[in-house]
Amino acid sequence: MSDTVLVYRGEEIAAYGFGDPHPFGTDRHDVFHSELDKAGLAEFIDYGHPRPATVDELALFHSADYIDKVSRLSVAGKGWLDDGDTPAVPGIYDAASSVVGAVLCAVDEVMHGNYKRAFVPIAGLHHAARDRAAGFCVFNDCAIAVEYLRRQFGIKRIAYVDIDAHHGDGVFYGFEEDPDLIFADIHEDGRYLYPGTGAAEETGKGKARGSKLNIPLASGADDADFHRVWVQVEEYLAAAKPEFIIMQCGADSLEGDPITHLRWTEEAHAAAAASLCRLAGTYSDGRIIGTGGGGYNRRNVARAWTRVVQSFVETH
């Protein structure tokens, strides 16, 4: 008997993307959901439908000026939201706001006790900073979820765990001086990959110094390397005792991604998700949400995210 897992789908979040030939296309949602449909998990999954986030919810993390800028450029539908990675395609405000809204819906459902585990594809837009877009990310749904959990539910000790090939710089620097944001991030070494940050020496600043875990891996690192360092993440989380876990499971850490250089298989994602479910069971009353994150090889996106959902279903 498995607990039912809540998975989000809908054209509102599928619309988040930047069109051909941008690597973050709008086909990623459907590629994942068609793979999930074939996984034989239907009886263990409920589907949730996204809603847009309100301006006040976006403002839990982002500046008013930046939210206004995205709104204006989304109507204009041309130009860039950053220095050349994230185009201002028409309607991007609504799509980005729906991704945030889906994550906040997932948080509500978990906190109200309707589900223990929820997954939101397309979310996990971890590069967006408080006052700017970056690296295909417009609104930082994970960072907003942290502030929302604190504001709406009084949850203080939240763990953010990121296995995307890229460093989750938007979350890291957004909470660099906050000792209550528990942060663990395995990524390709910033000397070889965007955004260039996330050295092991970056452990937080001020009263948060020493409180965060960055684990850079060499280009070409494989599943054995993942498992070797994952032990550190488990020990770190066990010591930190989070009240809620947010996972960012970017599929661009799998072999064959066109813009990164790690060589994991989807079994790393399955193992990480299972491990986090067990840690959530011990420390967080079972509460965990998964967000899809990056991934630009469509087969990898479909398989890695599906394996995460499978671990959410099967882990006891």
Residues that bind Zn ion (CB under 5 A): 164-166, 250, 252, 294
How far apart (Å, rounded) are the C-alpha atoms in residues 188 and 191?
A: 8
241 conformational bin, left if phi > 0, alpha if psi -120 to 50, beta if neither: left
The residue (of 166 and 261) whose beta carbon lies closer to Zn ion is 166
Smallest distance from Zn ion to CB 250, Å = 4
Nearer to Zn ion, 48 or 170 (CB): 170
> What is the pairing mode between strands 5-8 and 45-48?
parallel
Minimum CB distance to Zn ion, residue 65 (Å): 26
CB of 252 to Zn ion, least distance (A): 4
Q: Angle at the Cα of 100 (from 146 to 256), degrees rounded to 5?
A: 95
Sequence-distant (≥ 6) Cβ neighbours of residue 49 within 8 angstroms: 8, 9, 10
User: In this structure, are residues 168 and 126 in contact, taking their beta carbons and an 8 Å threshold?
Assistant: yes
* Nearest distance in Å: CB 56, Zn ion: 29
Cβ nearer to Zn ion, comparing 96 with 240: 96
- From CA 311, how far away is CA 316, in angstroms rounded? 9
| N-to-C CA span, the chain | 10
Q: How far is the CB of 82 from Zn ion (least distance, A)?
A: 15
Q: CB-wise, 290 or 294, nearer to Zn ion?
A: 294
Nearer to Zn ion, 153 or 173 (CB): 173
